[in-house]
Structures are given as C-alpha cells and as structure tokens.
Amino acid sequence: MKFRHYLVALTIFVLDRLTKWLVQVYLDPVRPVEVIPGYLRFSYTENTGVAFGLFDAMEFPWKPYILSALSIAAIAAILIYSAGKSSARWLLHYGLAVTMGGILGNFLDRLLKGYVIDFIDFHVQEIFHWPAFNVADSFITIGITLLLIDTLWNPEEEKAAVRSPACGKQ
C-alpha cells in the first residue's frame, strides 16, 4: 500500500471516531432520534460482539481481548498481504485500506471500553430490522466488497498465487 492508502485508512478511522464522539455527546441513550421515520434512526448501542451485533449475546470475560487480538491479526494480515501485491491493483489496495480504517475504529473502542458504539439503526417500518452498526462497520463492509470485486476482475492473479511454488503447489 502507498501513502495515499494509509491516508484513506486514517480518514476513515477519524470519521468513525468523530461520529462515535458525536453520538456519545449528543444522543440520549434511551431516546433514539428518528432520521427518516419508519426507516432510519440513530440509537445508542453498546455492542460487545463484532459487526452488526454478532456474538454480542455471548458472555465470557476474555471476549474483548480475543476480539482485539483478532483485530490486530487482521491489520497485520492486511499489511503483509498488500506488501506483495502490484500497485496496479488499485481496487485491492483501496479495499484493504478502507477495511483497515474500519477495523482500527472498532479496535480502539473495544480496547478502551470493552465494547463498540453502534448507532445507525436501519429498519423498514416494523417489517424488517437490521442490527445497529456504525461507520467503521460500514467501511469494513465496503472494503470487503471492493476486495471481492478486485478478485473477480483479477482471477488469474489470485490463481497464480495459489499455484506458486511458495505455496507448495505447481
């Protein structure tokens, strides 16, 4: 990754921190704010799980440490993986940067508080309700989508990496 990719990750991290700070300062935890009535509200939520509330209900004392360690491992994997990839694969590098920015935002919450602040609450009337999420979750999802698109655009490069002698297959 180049400097501009790290700048993208930093921008996403700062945007996530700013939105979570605004939520903590201005949003009443017991009174959600209807942004688009029947569809979107801002609602303060403390999520001890991962993106979109997964594993939030699981209670065990080491959960924040395990999830923090997984975040560190994911960031390390992104840095190592991106180092060996052609800079011509711009979608790959931006996807990794966007994902890393989101991971860093949630990692800091989890490290400092033991939970992640979620506040974007999307629903369709009373018919459908998506679990609350935050800016970091959104960018992690966008980043992974960019990575999938890059893989579809560059299938031969990914196959070559799997067949390389370094992987033990030829």
Segment 91-114 mean pLDDT: 95
Whether 121 has a pLDDT exceeding 90, the answer reads yes
Q: Which of 138, 103, 102 is nearest to 119 (CA)?
A: 138
Catalytic residue (one of 16, 56, 109, 118): 118
Compute the distance between CA of residue 77 and CA of residue 148 in angstroms, rounded to an integer.
16
Whether 59 has a pLDDT exceeding 80, the answer reads no
Whether residue 118 lies in the annotated active site: yes
- So what's the pLDDT on residue 129? 87
Q: pLDDT exceeding 70 applies to what percent of the chain?
A: 84
Whether residue 137 lies in the annotated active site: yes
Of 12-16, 26-30, 57-61, 66-70, the one with minimum mean pLDDT is 57-61
Give the residue extent of every domain in the chain.
Answer: 3-160
What the block records as the tokens of 21 is 């700070």
Whether 63 has a pLDDT exceeding 80, the answer reads no
- So what's the pLDDT on residue 170? 45
163 pLDDT tier (thresholds 50, 70, 90): low
Q: DSSP readout, 87-128?
A: TT-HHHHHHHHHHHHHHHHHHHHHHHHSSEEEEEEEEETTTE
29 pLDDT tier (thresholds 50, 70, 90): confident
Segment 70-93 mean pLDDT: 91
pTM: 0.82
Question: What element of type H or E holds 43?
Answer: strand 40-47
